[in-house]
Amino acid sequence: MPPMADHSPILMAQGSSDALLEQLRARLAPAQWPLPLARLPQGTVLVGGAVRDGLLDRLPDEPDLDLVVPTDAIALSKALAQELHGTCVVLDEERSIARLVLGGWTVDIARQDGDRIEDDLWRRDYRLNAIAVSLQPWGQLWDPTGGVNDLRQGRLTAVSEANLTDDPLRLLRGVRLAAEIPLTICSQTMGWIERHAARLPEAAPERILSELQRLVRGNHADTAIAILRRGPLLRPWAAGGKPPAPADIEGLSSEEAAAAVPLARLTALVSDEGLIQLRASRGLRQRCKRLRVWQQRLGQAPESLAESDRLQLHEELDEDLPALALQLTKPVREIWLERWRNAEDPLFHPRAPIDGNSLVQALELQPGPRLGRLLHHLKLEHAFERIQTKAEAVGEAQRFLTRESDAL
């Protein structure tokens, strides 16, 4: 998610609508798009998130663009992909919606739904997403539902109840928007979301997970997560965990928080089985599962773990350790983070002081399970600083092999 603007959004600008449109154009910077406006048909408009975020001055460098055209969107997208050396993906053949990928840019192009652009906008999910600006030619802003006023008021209002149920993913999208933008969901809209929450599983699981991943990264995710925890939207996949509180994040750098906090939030919200149902990647499922296991095992007393368990913890979590540290008391969390930031810390970044090939040569060993056990033992000894150098590792290896032989 892009950072919030450091200066006033365009909505606060004074002056004529022409001045507002010119300011919006400066924010959108269409001259920097990989899609020349001259290649678009007459009647093309930009809708949805890019317009909303342009008005709020929170556009990323390469915003996703949603275009509405009065012609066949799929044919246009295929022609543009060929001309501009991009890729066209058909999203909905029946409704003529396609995605144009040009470098790092994503441009969704849809055929206008209805005879007029106003008809199309009245069919959208939320008022603040039902704002459009003409691109070809430039110079007109459409806001038939009152989205600009909602943005001014920091309010999220559905265009209609039926529009939400037309695509049940929109129910979750409203909460996700509140995680990204400081918005209050109006009571009627919240009632509709809760009334139809049982329909959310009708949406594609990958789309649900995508919304959740955006939600947990939001600057205002705490408010949105509270809505999810007390409401029925996530009931089919809920984990019932406790997400990190703002105070838990103290001491993390912005980069560390950006990696650790969303993972901790997602683990608290969605169960392991829920992640499977939502078709999360194997890597994401494993990260959440490992974090959940160690959260339960660790509690608030990391010192109670045996040495072998501590080693296993740091081996398994590795880069995700700050997500676990969020549940520790502040003094312990600070110590753990300081040690984790030190790449040479032998416990928080465990490794043996000698590699397997060197052991094979020094001790005339054969590769196999015995060598694996030996390397694990040396890693444990090194983690707790009982050995440090290669020479010490070879000596400890000889003692370990002698003990194993004597035990047989």
Digit-coded pLDDT (tens) for 61-111: 999 999 999 999 999 999 999 999 999 999 999 999 999 999 989 999 999
Do 108 and 196 belong together in one domain?
no
Provide the number of structural domains found in the chain. Answer: 4
The three-state secondary structure class of 397 is helix
Q: Report whether pLDDT(6) > 50.
A: no
Q: Report whether pLDDT(230) > 50.
A: yes
Q: What's the mean pLDDT in 233-254?
A: 94
Q: What's the mean pLDDT in 40-45?
A: 95
* CB contact at 8 A, 37 and 30: yes
Domain that residue 326 falls in: 254-341
Q: Give 300's pLDDT tier (boundaries 50, 70, 90).
A: low
The domain that holds 100 is classified in CATH as 3.30.460.10
Do 108 and 42 belong together in one domain?
yes
Residue with the larger pLDDT of the pair 369 and 3: 369
Q: Give 10's pLDDT tier (boundaries 50, 70, 90).
A: low
Q: Report whether pLDDT(385) > 60.
A: yes
Among 200, 233, 266, residue at a domain's last position:
233
Over the chain, what is the mean pLDDT?
92
Do 57 and 181 belong together in one domain?
no
Q: Give 17's pLDDT tier (boundaries 50, 70, 90).
A: confident
Residue 347 domain-assigned? no
* CB contact at 8 A, 215 and 175: yes
Q: What's the mean pLDDT in 143-154?
A: 94
Among 165, 200, 233, residue at a domain's last position:
233
Do 146 and 186 belong together in one domain?
no
Q: Report whether pLDDT(400) > 90.
A: yes
Q: What is the pLDDT of residue 284?
A: 98
Q: Report whether pLDDT(7) > 50.
A: no
Q: Report whether pLDDT(2) > 70.
A: no
Do 169 and 270 belong together in one domain?
no
Q: What is the pLDDT of residue 156?
A: 98
* CB contact at 8 A, 308 and 383: no
Among 341, 365, 395, residue at a domain's last position:
341
Q: What is the pLDDT of residue 337?
A: 96
Question: What span, in angstroms and rounded, lies between the C-alpha atoms of 252 and 191?
Answer: 37
Q: What's the mean pLDDT in 310-320?
A: 95
Do 6 and 123 belong together in one domain?
yes
Do 176 and 67 belong together in one domain?
no
Q: Quick one: tokens of 391?
A: 């020479």
Q: Answer left, alpha or beta for residue 116, where phi above 0 means left and psi between -120 and 50 means alpha.
A: beta
- Taking residue 133's Cβ as centre, other Cβ atoms within 10 Å add up to 21
Residues 108-137: pLDDT tens digits?
Answer: 999 999 999 999 999 999 999 999 999 988
Percent of the chain with pLDDT over 90: 87
C-alpha dist (Å) from residue 41 to 36, 79, 102, 121, 152:
11, 12, 18, 19, 32
Q: What is the pLDDT of residue 5?
A: 40
Residue 301 domain-assigned? yes
Do 130 and 12 belong together in one domain?
yes
* CB contact at 8 A, 340 and 346: no
Q: Give 354's pLDDT tier (boundaries 50, 70, 90).
A: very high
